[in-house]
């Protein structure tokens, strides 16, 4: 008897990344302005790179604790205390990236058949990880509200609460959000936390963009208001705030009762994060505030530029994001965002992410990462405007 060499059935139903689909098509093209991924176009600051070099020179290349080196765990707790949070050293688990942190947390908490709720459009890895583990994903739509000349993405809180039914295992809340820039208010967080306590629902707060906000030093976080024993897991990463996307370094804040499980699962995934990379993380936390301030001043200017330029294109609706590094804009008449992204790639040599990559509610939209130099962003907007004028958004 012959047995097919295939992956388990759950893998067959998973969609590949449509962002990667567009990226792969653009790999051989010249003069493409790549705005498809969520990363800045600057290298990691020198003081962070130097800390990693010093760690290598000092021989920090060996295995370490599943939870990360003590120096970094302490630095994370101290950094978060500077944001007004009460975080314990022993409630921090260092991970090999933010997405690895989400996987570890979900492996610790989700069983096949568990119900997970998240707002949509969503970062596709949130739903993908849940489905890899056999969970059932339900979504609540974000909607464009407000004046036609100034729409904003928002969630109907009553609709979200209604979806968080008894027996729901987890709600995933990425705010500030990729791709929409949507944010949760403190009042909304308090209502959601109280609701989760009543029903025993875990909150997974993806706080990766908490410092990428435009009108305050940091976004409101569930960690600000949670009790030590609440069913709350906060995910964070060094990628966005400190321009460290390629370093793959993140962390989890979790209740002490969950830490033994996270330690075991970390062992089964990566065992540990490279210690010299963790030393770079310490430098980022301890010396990085001026870099974050300068970065946010630049992002604010680029956000305003992108919204103004794209918003001047007939048939394009551009919400102003409160956080993150994206313009997620709707194109009138677009029913196939992947086809439009491909058309812009080949016809205008601009690489954007199709809205459908972020769930069905994202169809008709495109995502542009504006964390780039002004001249590149201006050129990209010129090309987009010219292409849409000639194709009618097809």
Q: Which of 201, 120, 111, 113 is nearest to 164 (CA)?
A: 201
The answer to whether position 139 is within a domain reads: yes
Clarify whether residues 143 and 69 are in a common domain: yes
Clarify whether residues 296 and 279 are in a common domain: no
Clarify whether residues 159 and 199 are in a common domain: yes
Residue 316 has a pLDDT of: 94
Residue 5 has a pLDDT of: 85
Clarify whether residues 146 and 103 are in a common domain: yes
Full domain range(s) for residue 17: 9-44+290-388
At 325, which CATH number? 3.90.1150.10
Residue 313 has a pLDDT of: 95
pLDDT in tens, 114-133: 999 999 999 999 999 999 99
Clarify whether residues 320 and 344 are in a common domain: yes
307-329 burial, b if ≥16 CB within 10 A, otherwise e? Answer: bebbbebeebbbbbbbbbbbbbb
Computed on alpha carbons and rounded to an integer, the radius of gyration of the chain in Å comes to 21
Residue 149 has a pLDDT of: 54
Structural domains of the chain, count: 2
Residue 2 has a pLDDT of: 81
Half-sphere exposure of 286 (CA within 13 A, CB side): 14
Give the other-Cβ count within 10 Å of 147's Cβ: 7
The answer to whether position 204 is within a domain reads: yes
Clarify whether residues 220 and 276 are in a common domain: yes
- Strands 365-369 vs 326-331: parallel, antiparallel or unpaired: antiparallel
Residue 86 has a pLDDT of: 84
**Intervals of the chain under pLDDT 70:** 146-151, 393-394
């Amino acid at each position: 008897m012959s047995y097919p060499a295939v992956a388990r059935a759950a893998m067959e139903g998973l969609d590949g990344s449509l962002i990667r689909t567009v990226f792969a098509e653009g790999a051989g093209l010249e003069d493409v302005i790549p705005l498809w991924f969520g990363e800045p176009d600057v290298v990691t600051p020198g003081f962070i790179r130097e800390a990693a070099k010093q760690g290598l020179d000092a021989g920090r290349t060996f295995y370490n604790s599943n939870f990360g080196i003590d120096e970094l765990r302490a630095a994370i707790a101290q950094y978060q205390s500077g944001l007004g949070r009460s975080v314990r050293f022993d409630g921090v688990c260092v991970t090999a990236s933010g997405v690895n942190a989400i996987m570890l947390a979900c492996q610790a908490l989700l069983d096949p058949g568990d119900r997970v709720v998240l707002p949509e459009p969503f970062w596709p890895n949130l739903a993908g990880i849940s489905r890899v583990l056999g969970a059932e994903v339900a979504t609540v739509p974000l909607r464009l509200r407000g004046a036609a000349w100034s729409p904003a993405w928002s969630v109907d809180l009553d609709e979200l609460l209604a979806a968080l039914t008894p027996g729901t295992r987890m709600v995933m809340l990425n705010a500030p959000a990729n791709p929409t820039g949507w944010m949760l208010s403190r009042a909304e967080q308090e209502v959601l936390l109280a609701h989760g306590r009543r029903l025993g629902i875990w909150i997974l707060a993806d706080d990766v963009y908490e410092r990428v906000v435009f009108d305050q030093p940091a976004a409101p976080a569930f960690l600000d208001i949670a009790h030590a024993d609440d069913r709350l897991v906060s995910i964070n990463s060094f990628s966005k705030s400190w321009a460290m996307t390629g370093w793959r370094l993140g962390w989890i804040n979790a209740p002490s009762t969950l830490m033994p499980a996270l330690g075991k699962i970390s062992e089964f995934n990566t065992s540990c994060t490279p210690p010299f990379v963790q030393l770079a993380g310490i430098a980022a936390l301890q010396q990085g505030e001026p870099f974050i301030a300068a970065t946010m001043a630049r992002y604010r200017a680029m956000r305003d530029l992108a919204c103004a330029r794209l918003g001047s294109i007939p048939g394009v609706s551009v919400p102003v994001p409160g956080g993150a590094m994206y313009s997620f804009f709707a194109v009138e008449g677009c029913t196939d965002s992947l086809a439009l992204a491909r058309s812009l790639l080949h016809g205008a040599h601009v690489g954007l992410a199709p809205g459908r990559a972020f769930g069905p509610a994202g169809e008709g939209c495109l995502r542009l990462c504006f964390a780039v130099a002004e001249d590149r962003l201006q050129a990209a907007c010129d090309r987009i405007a010219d292409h849409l004028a000639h194709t009618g958004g097809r």
